[in-house]
Structure 1
Amino acid sequence: MAAPERIASLSTAPAEWSPSSWQACPQAQQPAYADATELERALAQLSQLPPLVTSWEILSLKRLLAEAAAGERFLLQGGDCAESFDDCSSPLISNRLKVMLQMSLVLVHGLKLPVVRVGRFAGQYAKPRSADSETRDGVTLPSYRGDLVNAAAFTAEARRADPQRLIRGHARSAMTMNFVRALVDGGFADLHHPEYWDLGWVKHSPLQDEYRAMVESIGNSLRFMETLAGEPLGSFQRVDFYTSHEALVLHYEQALTRQVPRQAGWFNLSTHFPWIGMRTAAIDGAHVEYFRGIRNPIAVKIGPSVTPDQLRRLADVLDPEREPGRLTLIHRMGATRIGDALPPLLAAMKASGRTPLWVCDPMHGNTETVGNGVKTRRFENIRGELDSAFDVHAAAGTRLGGVHLELTGENVTECMGGARDLTETDLARAYKSQVDPRLNYEQSLELAMLIVRKRGALQASR
């Protein structure tokens, strides 16, 4: 952590900030590029490419997140742990969109609140690693850091940090965003036709009856409202989707940080909603320095090792003006630690007069390695942390305003448990992730239903 003098200078002298000022700070989780000239050429090209999002979309999302912090909306943030270039295909993108739509339908119906839909896609191509290198059979190579940096194959050439991948990452993100926008604008998300979102499992899932009842109830309500209005309600024919990713590779983020006409300041135009991970949240570090100067809404992942004083100082650096919608705090404690670790952090923010958007990530604190060496997560622990999060916030007088999940629209078997009670043996059947285990579409929908039930139970007990 930085000295108090450093923190004060960051929060009170924004004029000293520039998109490249992070380069003078201690850096973590950055690729080691062997050829500086090759990197500069790639960054010069990237800085001239069109942005992926717009400033008005960013400011619109910031307003919605402020409303979520005030209890007027609920944030659903989900998607792949790490996108791959090979998975930039229409079936995978549309299936990911389908499961997000299905989950938001359940949440809107059960919570009686509008849902802010934010995907972990169109840029989630880099991942932090616990070690810089990996050794297999006596051979040591750089770790795989996501397709934005290098490739997963265990060869010297594949593991080389390649600056051209920054250009390819921008292209894949642009293609993903273009397809999502086309689907949404074309009526794919029309509430009149939720059958467009169906995935094959619905016909066989233990959850199908409950989900179908929700769809029918919403359809009946919509038809009733349109009968009263005497015309179709156009606002139900499309929804807004926003993008997010961990802004890890700072050279990439810097190249897409721009000033725009008729707006003050700088915007990260690679995504609507970037976040800082736990490994890169040092107050005097490069990521915090970069994030403090952009106008996007931003999030920070916080774990059980964060102290109340550290969190207060971090909030002062990243959100000195206490701007509504600016700061989201995503806690990821683990099912066994959230009860002890989260209350002091909630109390610290409450005592400081801050009302950030609090979001629960029940995935990352519950990762484990089973007997065959495969990383997995148990659905009961994911559910347990989310249940506890609602309880802890209720006891503290704060509000849990969203959930952050790693999920996919594919029929994978990466997390154990859920409606079909997947076991360790099932993991080998359809384990596809190169990095972290994800909820499949059935487990994702089940979790949305559990959120609704938990929120309802808490409200009934008041």
Structure 2
Amino acid sequence: MLTGVMNELEATASPGTWRDRPAAQQPAYPDPGALAAVGEDLRSRPPLVFAGEVDSLRSRMAQAARGRAFVLMGGDCAESFDGNTATDIRLKVQTILQMAAVLTYGASMPIVKIGRMAGQYAKPRSADTETRDGLTLPAYRGDSVNGHDFSLQARTPDPARMLEAYLRSGTTLNLIRAFTMGGYADLREVHSWNRGFTDNPAYKRFEAFAEEIDRAMRFMEAAGVDFDALKQVDFYAAHEALLLEYEDAMTRRDSRTGDLYGTSAHLLWVGERTRGADDAHVALLAGVRNPVGVKLGPTAAPEELLALVDRLNPDGEPGRLSVITRMGSGRVRDALAPLVEAVRADGRPVTWITDPMHGNTIISDNGYKTRRFEAIMDEVRGFFEVHRALGTVPGGIHVELTGGDVTEVLGGGERIDEAGLAKRYETLVDPRLNHQQSLEMAFEVAEMLQTHHG
């Protein structure tokens, strides 16, 4: 909840157990002394989020696990320093707020709004190096690690980049607070943005849904709803806790309780490539009070998931653990069900969230890394179908999106084809939904929520 609620958080080192564990996807810094100096610098700096905000999100994630709220998590695959502009941030926040307005109506419940923002500056990679024209250099791992340009200077990991990521995360959070607490998020304003979307002939099929929302808004006004009280919204920040040294340095102890909090974001998750139950990333997240997530791909076995529950939420605290599944549209219906059944039998609660992006990545005929919008939506449908069949709760969606008019994902109402990818393909790592595709997803998911709860 970006309200600036202050708590007395003291710099501290997190439990040292992670340093004794296998640690995948970590940069090979050439100067250990420089890395240590950056860590000490970060420990002296103020937290980016606060314990009270983190506690608030944990309670909301618990509501989502029970079917009393729905999580919308969205933002860039990997944020860039160059893209850290006021316009870029505003457009992403606007897109998430627009999607949330549609989902609120469809679900008839609160939407937990989480930006994959203000810290998503590091990315795992499938290989440590990249070779071009006979030259092999370290892979680009995100702007908090190295540069995207293919040169030795740019690609050499530099720990000072973590300080830059810290500063840019702080300015992003400050701007998000201003947008969400200063009237920009007024429900009437957000709804007017959505009407512009449905005026597009490509989206006529959502016209009736939009008219229903219009009627609801008019009813609220006629009934004397205090819209001034709706001008502010709670908006949280999340990212993958990939850089262990950074996350360790951003861990603080709450002087009220003595508990440790990761103060780089409200929610932190561990990725599919670093989720070993006995490995460093899980050990680090096991030591903080934040709500945490774990990404699971189609090869995840039920016993692996239960081992992660044992490590990350042994006492079964509601709202503590989210399972973010990334299966692929062709596998979600078969691969998800055994995991859901295992957790249901175990009894400890998790919040189930679908990431329909990562399992559907393809290479186009003209060489672009892309995804098909229909495959993305089919994975979301499969996610809902599994939970409906098992009588469990679909708790949220996790998507890579941007507020701009990029052309990175094939299809959608705009019918982006392979030739169209070249028009505005701007991502440095993975393809994202553009503004129109994000809203199209929101309308489709809203219909799924109506059916699920109807």
Give distance in 2, aligned partners of 1:321 and 1:219.
42
- Within the candidate set 1, 25, 30, 1:29 is matched to 25
Residues in 2 aligned to 1:365 and 1:405: alpha-carbon distance in whole angstroms: 12
Q: CA RMSD in A?
A: 1.7
What TM-score does the superposition give when structure 2 sets the normalisation length? 0.94
The alignment partner of 1:193 has SS state of helix
Is 2:130 the partner of 1:116? no
Q: Superposition pairs for residues 154-303 of structure 1, below 5 Å? A: 154-194=150-190, 197=193, 204=200, 206-207=202-203, 209=207, 212-213=210-211, 216-226=214-224, 232-303=226-297
Unpaired segments of 5 or more residues in structure 2? Answer: 1-12
Q: Supply the AA of the counterpart residue of 1:183.
A: F
* SS of corresponding position for 1:85: coil
Q: Structure 1: which 5+ runs fail to align?
A: 1-16
Q: CA deviation at 1:310?
A: 1.0
1:102 Cα shift? 0.6
Secondary structure of residue in 2 paired with 1:87: coil
Q: Does 1:438 align with 2:436?
A: no
| Pair 1:71 & 2:71 matched | no
Q: Report matched runs for 1:368-447 at 5 Å.
A: 368-447=362-441
Partner of 1:357: 351
* Superposition deviation, residue 24 in structure 1: 1.2
Structure 1 counterpart of 2:236, which letter?
A: Y
Identity %: 45
> What CA distance in whole angstroms lies between the structure 2 residues aligned with 1:443 and 1:214?
21
Alpha carbons 2:317, 2:349 under 8 Å: kept: no
From 268, 293, 299, give the equivalent of 1:305: 299
1:348 paired with 2:342, answer: yes
Deviations 1:187-207 (A, max 9, x none): 100113226756976654533
Say which is worse superposed, 140-149 or 191-200, in terms of deviation. 191-200
What residue identity is the alignment partner of 1:175?
T
Contact 1:101 1:197 in 2 (8 A): no
CA distance in 1, matches of 2:413, 2:172: 31
Does the CA contact (< 8 Å) of 1:73 and 1:116 recur in 2? Answer: yes
Q: Is contact 1:334–1:364 with CA below 8 Å preserved after alignment?
A: yes
Whether contact under 8 Å (1:99, 1:197) holds in the other structure is no
For 2:223 and 2:42, the matched residues in 1 are separated by 48
Pairing partner for 1:107 from 77, 99, 103 = 103
CA deviations over 1:381-430 (Å, ceiling 9, x no partner) = 00111111101111112110100000000000100010111111110011
Q: Which amino acid aligns with 2:189?
A: H
Work out which of the residue numbers 79, 84, 89 in structure 1 matches 2:85.
Answer: 89
Checking the alignment, whether the CA contact within 8 Å between 1:95 and 1:199 is kept in structure 2 is no
* SS of match in other structure, 1:50: coil
CA distance in 2, matches of 1:331, 1:184: 29
User: Aligned partners of 1:191 and 1:109: how far apart in 2?
Assistant: 12
Tell me the alpha carbon deviations over residues 88-144 of structure 1, each in whole angstroms, 9 at most, x when there is no partner.
111110000111011000001111111000000000000000000000000000000
Shift of 1:163: 0.8
Q: Residue in 1 aligned with 2:9?
A: none
C-alpha distance in structure 2 between counterparts of 1:320 and 1:57, whole Å:
23
CA distance in 1, matches of 2:152, 2:241: 26
Task: Give the distance between the partners of 2:191 and 2:67, measured in 1 at CA.
Answer: 30
Secondary structure of the 2:232 match is: coil
TM-score by length of 1: 0.92
C-alpha distance in 1, partners of 2:216/2:42? 45
Letter in 1 for 2:398: H
